[in-house]
A = this chain, B = another copy of it.
Amino acid sequence: MNKIFIIGVGLIGGSFALDIKKLNPECTIYGIDKNEAHLEEAIALKVIDKSAQFEEVQHADLVILSIPVDGAIAVLPKVLDLVSDNTIVFDVGSTKEDICAQVKSHPKRRNYLAVHPIAGTEYSGPKAALHGLYKNKTNIICEVEETAFKLQEKALKLFTDLGMRIRYMNPQAHDKHIAYVSHLSHISAFMLGKTVIDKEKNERDIFDMAGSGFASTVRLAKSSPAMWTPIFKQNKTNVIETLNEYINNLKHFKSLMENEDFEAVFNEMETTNHIKDILNGIQ
Protein backbone atom coordinates (compact mmCIF):
# COMPACT_ATOMS: atom_id res chain seq x y z
CA MET A 1 0.00 0.00 0.00
CA ASN A 2 1.79 3.09 -1.24
CA LYS A 3 -0.85 5.78 -1.48
CA ILE A 4 -2.79 6.32 1.71
CA PHE A 5 -5.55 8.94 1.83
CA ILE A 6 -6.80 10.23 5.16
CA ILE A 7 -10.08 12.13 4.87
CA GLY A 8 -10.28 14.13 8.09
CA VAL A 9 -6.84 14.70 9.62
CA GLY A 10 -7.88 14.85 13.27
CA LEU A 11 -7.13 12.70 16.30
CA ILE A 12 -8.32 9.42 14.76
CA GLY A 13 -7.21 9.86 11.16
CA GLY A 14 -3.97 11.53 12.20
CA SER A 15 -3.10 8.72 14.60
CA PHE A 16 -3.63 6.16 11.82
CA ALA A 17 -1.42 8.27 9.56
CA LEU A 18 1.42 8.38 12.10
CA ASP A 19 1.47 4.63 12.68
CA ILE A 20 0.99 3.65 9.03
CA LYS A 21 3.92 5.88 8.06
CA LYS A 22 6.02 4.23 10.75
CA LEU A 23 5.10 0.76 9.47
CA ASN A 24 5.62 1.73 5.80
CA PRO A 25 8.12 4.59 5.63
CA GLU A 26 8.05 4.48 1.82
CA CYS A 27 4.29 5.18 1.54
CA THR A 28 2.84 8.63 0.91
CA ILE A 29 0.16 9.91 3.26
CA TYR A 30 -2.26 12.33 1.59
CA GLY A 31 -4.59 14.42 3.72
CA ILE A 32 -8.00 15.73 2.70
CA ASP A 33 -9.83 18.08 5.05
CA LYS A 34 -12.28 20.92 4.60
CA ASN A 35 -10.41 22.72 7.36
CA GLU A 36 -7.36 24.24 5.61
CA ALA A 37 -5.72 25.17 8.91
CA HIS A 38 -5.86 21.53 10.01
CA LEU A 39 -4.23 20.44 6.76
CA GLU A 40 -1.39 22.92 7.22
CA GLU A 41 -1.00 21.93 10.84
CA ALA A 42 -0.98 18.22 9.91
CA ILE A 43 1.82 18.84 7.37
CA ALA A 44 3.80 20.95 9.83
CA LEU A 45 3.48 18.23 12.48
CA LYS A 46 4.47 15.57 9.87
CA VAL A 47 1.18 13.78 10.50
CA ILE A 48 0.64 13.71 6.71
CA ASP A 49 3.05 14.13 3.82
CA LYS A 50 0.90 16.40 1.66
CA SER A 51 -2.61 17.63 1.08
CA ALA A 52 -4.72 16.36 -1.82
CA GLN A 53 -7.89 17.15 -3.74
CA PHE A 54 -10.87 14.87 -3.25
CA GLU A 55 -10.73 13.53 -6.82
CA GLU A 56 -7.25 12.14 -6.20
CA VAL A 57 -8.70 9.29 -4.09
CA GLN A 58 -9.04 7.50 -7.43
CA HIS A 59 -5.32 6.73 -7.10
CA ALA A 60 -5.52 5.51 -3.51
CA ASP A 61 -4.56 2.07 -2.21
CA LEU A 62 -6.23 2.82 1.11
CA VAL A 63 -8.74 5.49 2.11
CA ILE A 64 -9.51 6.14 5.77
CA LEU A 65 -12.66 8.17 6.31
CA SER A 66 -12.23 9.78 9.71
CA ILE A 67 -14.74 12.61 9.88
CA PRO A 68 -17.91 13.02 12.00
CA VAL A 69 -20.51 10.36 11.26
CA ASP A 70 -22.94 12.70 9.44
CA GLY A 71 -20.17 13.71 7.06
CA ALA A 72 -19.03 10.13 6.65
CA ILE A 73 -22.48 9.01 5.46
CA ALA A 74 -22.50 11.75 2.84
CA VAL A 75 -18.91 11.32 1.68
CA LEU A 76 -18.52 7.52 1.64
CA PRO A 77 -20.62 6.94 -1.54
CA LYS A 78 -18.61 9.63 -3.33
CA VAL A 79 -15.36 7.99 -2.31
CA LEU A 80 -16.59 4.61 -3.51
CA ASP A 81 -17.69 6.18 -6.80
CA LEU A 82 -14.08 7.17 -7.46
CA VAL A 83 -11.88 4.38 -6.16
CA SER A 84 -10.38 1.48 -8.09
CA ASP A 85 -11.29 -2.18 -7.59
CA ASN A 86 -8.17 -2.70 -5.47
CA THR A 87 -8.75 0.13 -3.05
CA ILE A 88 -9.79 -0.57 0.51
CA VAL A 89 -11.93 2.13 2.11
CA PHE A 90 -12.81 2.11 5.78
CA ASP A 91 -14.57 4.54 8.09
CA VAL A 92 -13.98 4.76 11.82
CA GLY A 93 -17.30 6.08 13.11
CA SER A 94 -19.00 5.30 16.40
CA THR A 95 -22.26 4.31 14.64
CA LYS A 96 -22.44 1.56 12.06
CA GLU A 97 -26.08 0.87 11.18
CA ASP A 98 -26.79 3.98 9.09
CA ILE A 99 -23.52 3.97 7.17
CA CYS A 100 -23.86 0.28 6.29
CA ALA A 101 -27.42 0.92 5.11
CA GLN A 102 -26.26 3.93 3.09
CA VAL A 103 -23.90 1.90 0.88
CA LYS A 104 -25.78 -1.40 0.98
CA SER A 105 -26.54 -1.27 -2.77
CA HIS A 106 -23.51 0.70 -3.88
CA PRO A 107 -21.76 -1.04 -6.81
CA LYS A 108 -18.47 -0.70 -4.93
CA ARG A 109 -19.83 -1.97 -1.58
CA ARG A 110 -17.16 -4.67 -1.58
CA ASN A 111 -14.42 -2.03 -1.40
CA TYR A 112 -15.74 -0.79 1.94
CA LEU A 113 -15.09 -2.15 5.43
CA ALA A 114 -17.16 -0.83 8.35
CA VAL A 115 -14.75 -0.26 11.23
CA HIS A 116 -14.95 1.18 14.73
CA PRO A 117 -11.66 1.40 16.58
CA ILE A 118 -12.35 1.79 20.31
CA ALA A 119 -9.65 4.34 20.83
CA GLY A 120 -9.37 8.04 21.29
CA THR A 121 -8.99 10.80 23.80
CA GLU A 122 -11.17 13.76 24.67
CA TYR A 123 -9.02 15.98 22.42
CA SER A 124 -9.37 16.63 18.70
CA GLY A 125 -7.56 18.01 15.65
CA PRO A 126 -4.20 16.99 14.13
CA LYS A 127 -2.21 18.03 17.18
CA ALA A 128 -4.19 15.44 19.18
CA ALA A 129 -2.87 12.63 16.94
CA LEU A 130 -0.76 10.08 18.83
CA HIS A 131 1.72 7.38 17.92
CA GLY A 132 0.59 3.97 19.14
CA LEU A 133 -3.00 5.05 19.88
CA TYR A 134 -4.35 1.76 18.50
CA LYS A 135 -1.99 -0.66 20.21
CA ASN A 136 -3.93 -3.23 22.27
CA LYS A 137 -7.22 -1.51 21.44
CA THR A 138 -10.35 -3.27 20.28
CA ASN A 139 -11.38 -2.79 16.66
CA ILE A 140 -14.96 -3.68 15.84
CA ILE A 141 -15.66 -4.72 12.27
CA CYS A 142 -19.24 -4.93 11.01
CA GLU A 143 -20.61 -6.86 8.03
CA VAL A 144 -17.14 -8.23 7.21
CA GLU A 145 -18.74 -10.66 4.77
CA GLU A 146 -19.81 -7.74 2.56
CA THR A 147 -16.19 -6.80 1.85
CA ALA A 148 -14.06 -8.45 -0.84
CA PHE A 149 -11.78 -11.17 0.56
CA LYS A 150 -8.51 -9.71 -0.65
CA LEU A 151 -9.42 -6.28 0.75
CA GLN A 152 -10.50 -7.77 4.10
CA GLU A 153 -7.10 -9.41 4.18
CA LYS A 154 -5.21 -6.16 3.54
CA ALA A 155 -7.17 -4.29 6.19
CA LEU A 156 -6.79 -7.07 8.76
CA LYS A 157 -3.05 -7.18 8.18
CA LEU A 158 -2.89 -3.44 8.86
CA PHE A 159 -4.96 -3.71 12.06
CA THR A 160 -2.84 -6.63 13.27
CA ASP A 161 0.36 -4.71 12.52
CA LEU A 162 -1.04 -1.83 14.57
CA GLY A 163 -1.55 -4.22 17.49
CA MET A 164 -5.37 -4.15 17.50
CA ARG A 165 -7.72 -6.90 18.71
CA ILE A 166 -10.45 -7.61 16.15
CA ARG A 167 -14.09 -8.24 17.09
CA TYR A 168 -16.83 -8.96 14.53
CA MET A 169 -20.41 -7.80 15.09
CA ASN A 170 -23.45 -6.89 13.09
CA PRO A 171 -24.20 -3.15 12.83
CA GLN A 172 -27.44 -3.37 14.85
CA ALA A 173 -25.77 -5.12 17.79
CA HIS A 174 -22.82 -2.71 17.57
CA ASP A 175 -25.01 0.39 17.79
CA LYS A 176 -27.13 -1.01 20.60
CA HIS A 177 -24.25 -2.06 22.84
CA ILE A 178 -21.95 0.87 22.08
CA ALA A 179 -24.79 3.14 23.28
CA TYR A 180 -24.30 1.59 26.74
CA VAL A 181 -20.53 1.37 26.95
CA SER A 182 -19.67 4.61 25.17
CA HIS A 183 -22.45 6.98 24.18
CA LEU A 184 -24.16 7.01 27.60
CA SER A 185 -20.83 7.74 29.34
CA HIS A 186 -20.49 10.89 27.28
CA ILE A 187 -23.96 12.18 28.15
CA SER A 188 -23.43 11.24 31.79
CA ALA A 189 -20.21 13.29 31.83
CA PHE A 190 -21.64 16.25 29.89
CA MET A 191 -24.65 16.51 32.20
CA LEU A 192 -22.50 16.13 35.32
CA GLY A 193 -20.35 19.01 34.06
CA LYS A 194 -23.44 21.08 33.27
CA THR A 195 -25.00 20.43 36.69
CA VAL A 196 -21.89 21.54 38.52
CA ILE A 197 -21.15 24.54 36.29
CA ASP A 198 -24.77 25.76 36.49
CA LYS A 199 -24.73 25.55 40.26
CA GLU A 200 -21.31 26.95 40.82
CA LYS A 201 -21.07 29.57 38.07
CA ASN A 202 -20.85 32.42 40.53
CA GLU A 203 -18.49 30.62 42.85
CA ARG A 204 -15.33 29.92 40.93
CA ASP A 205 -13.42 29.13 44.09
CA ILE A 206 -15.54 26.05 44.46
CA PHE A 207 -13.65 24.20 41.77
CA ASP A 208 -10.66 24.30 44.10
CA MET A 209 -12.66 21.68 45.99
CA ALA A 210 -12.77 19.34 43.03
CA GLY A 211 -10.35 16.44 43.03
CA SER A 212 -9.19 13.78 40.65
CA GLY A 213 -12.45 11.84 41.10
CA PHE A 214 -14.53 14.67 39.68
CA ALA A 215 -11.95 15.23 36.92
CA SER A 216 -12.11 11.59 35.89
CA THR A 217 -15.91 11.36 35.92
CA VAL A 218 -16.40 14.56 33.94
CA ARG A 219 -13.44 14.09 31.57
CA LEU A 220 -15.55 13.17 28.54
CA ALA A 221 -17.38 16.51 28.80
CA LYS A 222 -14.33 17.97 27.06
CA SER A 223 -15.26 16.01 23.92
CA SER A 224 -16.10 17.64 20.60
CA PRO A 225 -19.81 18.55 20.13
CA ALA A 226 -19.27 18.47 16.34
CA MET A 227 -18.29 14.83 16.59
CA TRP A 228 -20.87 13.76 19.17
CA THR A 229 -24.05 15.50 17.97
CA PRO A 230 -24.32 13.40 14.77
CA ILE A 231 -23.53 10.22 16.75
CA PHE A 232 -26.45 10.90 19.08
CA LYS A 233 -28.63 11.74 16.09
CA GLN A 234 -27.79 8.52 14.23
CA ASN A 235 -28.07 6.36 17.34
CA LYS A 236 -31.06 8.20 18.79
CA THR A 237 -33.28 5.22 19.64
CA ASN A 238 -30.59 3.24 21.41
CA VAL A 239 -29.21 6.25 23.26
CA ILE A 240 -32.67 7.28 24.50
CA GLU A 241 -33.14 3.72 25.81
CA THR A 242 -29.88 3.94 27.78
CA LEU A 243 -30.85 7.37 29.12
CA ASN A 244 -34.21 6.05 30.32
CA GLU A 245 -32.50 3.25 32.21
CA TYR A 246 -29.82 5.52 33.63
CA ILE A 247 -32.38 8.10 34.79
CA ASN A 248 -34.49 5.35 36.38
CA ASN A 249 -31.48 4.02 38.26
CA LEU A 250 -30.62 7.51 39.52
CA LYS A 251 -34.23 8.11 40.60
CA HIS A 252 -34.26 4.78 42.42
CA PHE A 253 -31.03 5.65 44.24
CA LYS A 254 -32.53 9.02 45.19
CA SER A 255 -35.71 7.40 46.49
CA LEU A 256 -33.66 5.02 48.65
CA MET A 257 -31.93 8.06 50.14
CA GLU A 258 -35.24 9.89 50.64
CA ASN A 259 -36.62 6.82 52.42
CA GLU A 260 -33.42 6.61 54.50
CA ASP A 261 -32.89 3.05 53.36
CA PHE A 262 -29.13 3.24 53.61
CA GLU A 263 -28.76 -0.52 53.75
CA ALA A 264 -30.15 -0.60 50.21
CA VAL A 265 -27.89 2.34 49.24
CA PHE A 266 -24.94 0.27 50.45
CA ASN A 267 -26.12 -2.75 48.48
CA GLU A 268 -26.56 -0.74 45.28
CA MET A 269 -22.93 0.32 45.49
CA GLU A 270 -21.58 -3.05 46.60
CA THR A 271 -23.25 -4.83 43.68
CA THR A 272 -21.79 -2.32 41.27
CA ASN A 273 -18.28 -2.67 42.73
CA HIS A 274 -18.17 -5.74 40.49
CA ILE A 275 -17.22 -3.20 37.78
CA LYS A 276 -13.65 -3.64 39.11
CA ASP A 277 -13.40 -7.05 37.47
CA ILE A 278 -14.96 -5.78 34.28
CA LEU A 279 -12.58 -2.86 34.01
CA ASN A 280 -9.53 -5.05 34.39
CA GLY A 281 -8.02 -5.05 30.98
CA ILE A 282 -9.42 -1.65 29.99
CA GLN A 283 -6.91 1.05 30.65
Interface, chain A (partner B; CB < 8 A): 118-122, 137-138, 140, 165, 167, 174, 177-178, 180-182, 184-200, 203, 205-223, 225-226, 228-230, 232-233, 236, 239-240, 242-247, 249-251, 253-254, 257-258, 260, 262, 265-276, 278-279, 282-283
Contact = CB atoms under 8 A, between A and B. Distances in A.
A274 to B, nearest CB: 7
A214 B272 contact: no
A271 B194 contact: yes
**Main SS of chain A's interface residues?**
helix
B254 A250 contact: no
A180 B198 CA distance: 10
Contacts of A266: 225-226, 229
Contact of A272 (B210, B221, B240): B221
Contacts of A185: 192, 213-214, 217-218
A66 to B, nearest CB: 16
Contacts of A140: 209
A181 B194 contact: no
B254 A247 contact: yes
B209 A182 contact: yes
B257 A247 contact: no
Given A180-B206, A209-B138, A191 B249 contact: yes
A270 to B, nearest CB: 5
Contact of A195 (B120, B203, B242): B242
Given A197-B274, A244-B254, 6 more contacts: A190-B269, A190-B272, A194-B272, A195-B245, A221-B269, A232-B262
A178, A203, A215: which has the most chain B beta carbons within 10 Å? A215
Q: Sorted from nearest, which 5 A-B pairs have the closest CB atoms?
A: A225-B269, A118-B211, A185-B217, A181-B210, A193-B275
A195 B257 contact: no
B213 A200 contact: no
Nearest to A194: B272
A7 to B, nearest CB: 22
